[in-house]
Chain A
Amino acid sequence: MQEVKDFKPTIVAFCCNWCSYAGADLAGSSRLSYPADVKIIRVPCSGRVNPMFILKAFERGADGVIICGCHPGDCHYSTGNYYTRRRLALLYSMLDYMGIERGRTRVEWVSAAEGVKFSTVMNKFVEDIRALGECVKLGDIRCKD
């Protein structure tokens, strides 16, 4: 799909409280910009992200969903991010089946000290989602207000 210049995607970012949310805070206090399309939801752990939340986001019109957690081995709760990784690998195949492009869901590990990485990841993700364009696959079942 052709990139539309004024396309403002809706992007939901789930960030774990201990690493990535703090990383996002650091990006903020370091004034490292990324597009305003990204909106962050704080969760205690990336392992708290139920695939239902991601499906709900797409159903409600999200164009991209990104899940950020502590680096493997560094999870505040020891193992949460390992579950995230495996769980989302399964979800990808389901999203494929539903016709939602693979690139619209992403998992990234961002530590509390990686403000720069947070900003870079978000800039790249938004760029990729803009290239993919609006997510319309779930349009017919999407709840209309």
Chain B
Amino acid sequence: MLKIGVFVCWCGSNIAATVDVKQVVEAVKLQQGVVFATDYQYMCSEAGQLIMRNAIEEYKLDGVVICSCSPRMHEATFRKNAERAGLNPFMVEIANIREHCSWIHKDVEEGTIKAIALANAAIAKVKLNAPLISGESGVTKRALVIGGGIAGIQTALDIAEAGFQVDIVEKSPTIGGNMAKLDKTFPTLDCSACILTPKMVDAAANPNIELLTYSEVEKVSGFVGNFKATIRKKARYINTDLCTGCGDCMSKCPSKKGKNEFNCGLNNRPAIYIPFAQAIPNVAVIDPVQCIKITKDKCGLCQTVCSAKAIDYKQQDEIIEREYGAIVAATGYKPIKLDKFDEYGYSQSKDVITSLELERLMNAAGPTGGKLVKPSDGSHPHTITFIQCVGSRDISGRGKCYCSKICCMYTAKHAMLIRDKYPDVNVNVFYIDVRTPGKNYDEFYRRAVEEYNVNYIKGQVGKVYESDGHLVLQASDLLNNEQILVNSDMVVLATAIEADESAKKVASMLTASIDTNNFLTEAHAKLRPVESPTAGIFLSGVCQGPKDIPETVSQASACAAKVIGLLSKAKLVTNPCVAHSDELLCNGCSNCANVCPYGAIGYETKLINDHGIRENRRVAVVNPALCQGCGACTVACPSGAMDLFGFSNSQIMAEVEAICKK
């Protein structure tokens, strides 16, 4: 007869306010096999854990049930504690009476009855638990970073610095991401390129880092420590070993009507191009849709002028297969499309631009050489008006419900830079709230208002339209409680940012959770902010949620620390909750292998002694190193041979019965 101990946690008042813990203790004592039950204010505290260890030793407990918070919170804590007292850690079950009970119910009687039912289900389950021994698996000492913006670069640099190999896979022809497009950065007004490009160069020069630009991850399989990735290196039509980045091809290319992605489409680029002067790698790429040679087999001028003989029109995509111990998602962000925000006139007037476009207009390497002019006619603007929260904090469903977090600060930066360079230009800012939490942020914003006399107006803009060669903003001024019309030569929209379109695909490939806004979910909002719930997958930068550069870099380094921690391990402990097959029942039908997503089930012909009849039979054999414990095979098995440790058929049936008992 198994001896079970039950420990009911108050969690201070978190549980005890809605669940009568004493009553739970008395109720579980009536369950068969329960030889000890008690309650304590904080079971997870050292004192609480000591109570548990003492009881395990004193009553020689075979199984333990903790009625407490979610197993996602403290299952590992209590399992470790059981082990300290000499009990197999897998003989511990948690009844979640906090998240699933006390926190959602108000009525004490109702909460107590439910807590007792959940405790009884856990008791019924733990009686059928089997002691399990964790296995071991190796770790491939190489990391994959998906995305080559500032987040991916920083993570890769830190991992490489610790002595591990890293590959950065970047879908565009150069690393650098959005930060490369910025002119200056808040709150110090550093030149963005000046702080980013040395890091790009470092990444390229580091012997531990391999840059796979113009490449995309197509498939990922495996598990923590042992991932396999298939990467498509798209054809650049350039031999990157030969190209010197001289740029002769760019000036000769006759097909010059491509939208310059780097300048947000504000000017054009040739079909063969280097994205920007400091691009890494500094080699050309041919846009196959635009190139006359590739589309029509005419031209070929670039090949003629290329003294390095680097042009190869016949180049094909290359497929690379690599193994990794850890994978970092650093897929970044993009500004949202503005087609649902017609009222701001973005599609009607060239003088209505996004903030990222303004960065390019202000940048010395931008389409105007850094001269701020009206895009419509190239003339000098006299008034510029910024509109905040375009698509951010939007509950109408057209934009994003969240705050994009960076806009208040970059708008203050833009306003300040414009007023600094062109003191004759008046700057207005329409805002809902100005949010400036961060070191030296509010001071920065106040400088914009106080020193640079930027005119901040609290209120929303309803409409922007053209009239007599300038723009008119119809808006409300909330502080003066009036409707106003503001004339402006240019309007800059602080466009909401959203997860890059690749995020969803990457999350699916990595089986990493994603939220309704396509931001990757962290394992714990506060305590595990850079890990995905999927072991071995880490999050760096805006792919996890909006953040500015300082925060992105902090998170990127934190993420690297986690990756280094993982790669430093000689062996990983594997989850012993894996499938296993009863050879006597197995008829070798292959149903289980067909549904297994990991190829963990193979077949062997074994001599089986079936009640005295000895015969060779084909039976399923689970490879515990590959099995991830999903249990798909257990349901597919028609003969009931396949079962799952930790979540066995009998355990789940026992829980069902306990819950349904009236």
| Interface residues in chain A, defined as those with a beta carbon under 8 Å from any beta carbon in chain B | 10, 12, 17-19, 21-22, 24-25, 27-29, 31-34, 36, 39-45, 47-53, 56-57, 60-62, 70, 73-80, 83, 87, 111-114, 119, 145
Assess whether A52 is in contact with B649, with CB atoms less than 8 Å apart.
yes
Among B96, B646, B656, find the residue whose CB has the most chain A CB atoms closer than 10 A.
B656
Which residues of chain A are within 8 angstroms of B628 by Cβ–Cβ distance?
A: 77
Residue of A nearest to B652 (CB): A53
Lowest 9 A-B CB distances belong to which pairs? A28-B99, A48-B631, A60-B660, A113-B515, A77-B630, A28-B103, A45-B630, A25-B99, A36-B114
Assess whether A41 is in contact with B630, with CB atoms less than 8 Å apart.
no
Assess whether B655 is in contact with A77, with CB atoms less than 8 Å apart.
no
Residue pairs across A and B with Cβ atoms less than 8 A apart, 25 shown, are A10-B662, A25-B99, A25-B100, A28-B101, A36-B107, A36-B114, A40-B96, A41-B652, A42-B96, A43-B647, A44-B629, A44-B631, A47-B635, A48-B644, A50-B649, A77-B630, A78-B511, A79-B595, A79-B597, A79-B632, A83-B595, A87-B635, A112-B513, A113-B516, A119-B104
Partner of A18 from the list B118, B508, B516, B533 (CB cut-off 8 Å) is: B533
| CA of A41 to CA of B72, assembled, Å | 14
Residue of B nearest to A87 (CB): B635
CB distance from B469 to the nearest CB of A (A): 48
Residue of A nearest to B221 (CB): A78
Interface size in chain B (residues, C-beta < 8 A): 55
Q: Give per-residue flags for B497-539: 1 if the beta carbon is below 8 A from chain A beta carbons, else 0.
A: 0000000000110010111100001000000000001100000
Assess whether B104 is in contact with A111, with CB atoms less than 8 Å apart.
no
Given contacts A70-B513, A74-B511, A83-B632, 16 further A-B contacts (CB under 8 A): A18-B533, A28-B103, A33-B105, A36-B113, A41-B656, A44-B577, A45-B632, A47-B630, A48-B630, A52-B653, A62-B656, A76-B534, A111-B513, A111-B515, A112-B521, A113-B515
Which residues of chain B are within 8 angstroms of A27 by Cβ–Cβ distance?
A: 99, 104
Partner of B636 from the list A17, A18, A83 (CB cut-off 8 Å) is: A83
CB distance from A61 to the nearest CB of B (A): 5
Residue of A nearest to B100 (CB): A40
Assess whether A61 is in contact with B100, with CB atoms less than 8 Å apart.
no
Assess whether A77 is in contact with B659, with CB atoms less than 8 Å apart.
no
Partner of A29 from the list B99, B516, B631, B656 (CB cut-off 8 Å) is: B99
For chain B residues 95-113, which have a beta carbon within 8 Å of chain A? 96, 98-101, 103-107, 110-111, 113
Assess whether B103 is in contact with A60, with CB atoms less than 8 Å apart.
no
CB distance from A46 to the nearest CB of B (A): 10
Partner of A53 from the list B96, B646, B653 (CB cut-off 8 Å) is: B653
CB distance from A54 to the nearest CB of B (A): 9
Indicate whether A29 sits within 8 Å of B103 (C-beta atoms), given known contacts A43-B631, A44-B630: yes
